[in-house]
């Protein structure tokens, strides 16, 4: 609607490229998604292990530092892909 590329634009194309084993094309479609997938997989596997073993959760919330480590790069990516020097980040 605005003509700007959001941080999620190209995510579906990136997932499609990943399912076909084309990592460079996936990174070209949405670099943030490709870089975030290993982190998401690690978090999911830790949750799965805790669920199967019945181990209690160590924390009750998300650390503030982790929130900043996710939000700031996504915002920088969002701005950069809409500027002329970051056109290669656009899907």
- Is residue 4 in some structural domain? no
Domain count, the chain: 1
pLDDT at 68: 93
Residue with the bigger pLDDT between 18 and 2: it is 18
| Range(s) of the domain holding residue 85 | 11-89
Q: Can you give the pTM of this predicted structure?
A: 0.78
- Is residue 2 in some structural domain? no
- Is residue 32 in some structural domain? yes
- Is residue 66 in some structural domain? yes
Tell me the per-residue pLDDT of 36-67, one tens digit each, with 9 for 90 and over: 999 899 989 988 998 899 888 777 777 888 88
- Is residue 5 in some structural domain? no
The per-residue DSSP string of 4-56 comes to: PPPTTTTHHHHHHHHHTT-HHHHHHH-HHHHHHHHHHHHHHHHHHHHHHHTPP
Tell me the per-residue pLDDT of 63-88, one tens digit each, with 9 for 90 and over: 888 889 889 999 999 999 999 998 88
- Is residue 1 in some structural domain? no
């Amino acid at each position: 609607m605005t003509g700007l590329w959001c941080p999620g634009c190209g995510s579906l194309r990136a997932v499609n490229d990943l399912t076909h084993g084309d990592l460079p094309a996936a990174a070209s479609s949405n670099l943030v998604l490709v870089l975030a997938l290993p982190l998401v997989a690690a978090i999911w596997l830790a949750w799965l292990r805790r669920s199967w073993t019945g181990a209690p959760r160590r924390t009750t919330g998300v650390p503030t530092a982790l929130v900043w480590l996710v939000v700031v790069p996504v915002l920088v990516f969002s701005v950069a892909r809409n500027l002329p020097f970051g056109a290669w980040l656009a899907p």
